[in-house]
Structure 1
Amino acid sequence: MPLGRVIDVPAPLTAGRVTLRVVRAGDAEALRALLRGNRDWLRRWEATHPSGRSIEPGSVPMRPTIRAYRRQLKAGSGVPFVILYDTEIVGQLSISELSGGALQSSQIGYWVSEHAAGRGIAPTAVALAIDYVFVTLGLHRVEICIRPENAASLRVVEKLRMRPEGRRAAYIHIDGAWRDHDCFVALREDGPMISRLPRG
């Protein structure tokens, strides 16, 4: 196992009107509808397969995907969340690439629906997730990799004052081609991320 242990399902993580909750089977239809409704919004940032055999988000039932997500907890390899604003599902956040041993590292990826963008939801969700990684999972490092063209996601890491570590060339196959990504990092000694959010 990447962490050498099963990850317990965390209780919901909340700050203000934003909550992270582990995805569950009952979220399937809401997520599928959200993905279908946001295809144009998300397409530029969606991972694709180099073979061209990618599946359009929202075009297949979500229950098998959710079961696979939840298996990550048992494997110690990831934590799959939905993002809620008040009680509405507005996106997803995944903690992945969990590594124990000498590395003690993880990565975070996320998306928020177009109708919910611009309300400070993504920075709050990311801050909650990073603090969970450090406090509950006890890891040392979190990475977020972002396409340099993705201005909205770059604002998230800027608000949290995550340190830039440079560009990874042709890092992930996105929207039909190999795309560069800029890497941003938080370390446990940086202190609580949630306290870095602008107030008010």
Structure 2
Amino acid sequence: MIIPGEMLPGGVLLRLLSGDDAEALRSAYTANREYLAPWEPRRPESFFTVEGQAARVAEQLLNFSERRAVPWVIEGDGAVIGTITLSGLTFGPFRSAYLGYWVAADQQGRGLAGAAVASVCRAARDRVGLHRIEAATLLDNAASQRVLEKNGFEPIGMAPRYLHIDGEWRDHRMFQRILHDGPPEN
């Protein structure tokens, strides 16, 4: 699967995750630890180390090689300022995946999340061959809901106690985007 990088607004690069990204990810997650805490699972201290990120990168790259995920980083001025991932790739008649993303606190309001989601939707349709993408947000995450809706995602319901976020099972608003209505490709 060939997934080219793409320039986003302000000279920011969306590119596939690399085996060399562990230190940059450690730095990004450490700098955004408090900002991300209400929106993510609780992380062990090892998550915020180069070794912890190297293990995550290796797992994500294995998932990519086995066509189970497509992990990208959002890079500005040589630093990782966010990530976006298609995970749980399913082929056959379903041809679907889950979308997850974040952008650094000091990069908010630049349109980067929306541009990254738009780019990933194009890649999912044109390069990966998916029919749909599903995403979930916490009920009170209005900013992420706006990003999804601006990118053609439609709300499809609410999932009670969907993910364990910040120490408790939290309800999520579910979204999907249909990418095309053509027949599945091999």
TM-score > 0.5, shorter chain as reference:
yes
Select 1:165's aligned residue among 137, 156, 164. Answer: 156
Give the secondary structure class of the aligned counterpart of 1:189. Answer: coil
The amino acid that maps onto 1:120 is G
2:103 matches 1:109: no
Matched, 1:19 2:19: no
- How many residues are paired up? 178
Cα distance in 1, alignment partners of residues 135 and 76 from structure 2: 22
Which among 129, 132, 154 is matched to residue 123 of structure 2? 132
Q: Is the 8 A contact 1:18 1:125 kept in 2?
A: no
For 1:84, the equivalent position in structure 2 comes to 75
The amino acid of 2:16's aligned partner reads V
- Taking structure 1 as the reference length, the TM-score comes to 0.82
Quote the residue 1:196 is aligned against.
none
Q: 3-state DSSP class of the match of 1:135?
A: helix
Deviation string 1:50-94 (CA, Å, 9 cap, x unpaired) is xxxx41442452112111110011211001110123544211111
**Higher helix fraction (1 or 2):** 2
Letter in 2 for 1:26: D
Alignment partner, residue 58 of structure 1: 48
- Amino acid across the alignment from 1:85: G
Identity of matched residues, %: 35
Equivalent residues of 2:8, 2:14 under 8 A apart? no
Contact 1:146 1:182 in 2 (8 A): yes
Tell me which residue corresponds to 2:85. 94
- Unaligned segments of structure 1, at least 5 residues: 1-7, 49-53, 191-200
In the alignment, structure 2 segments of 5+ residues that lack a partner are 182-186
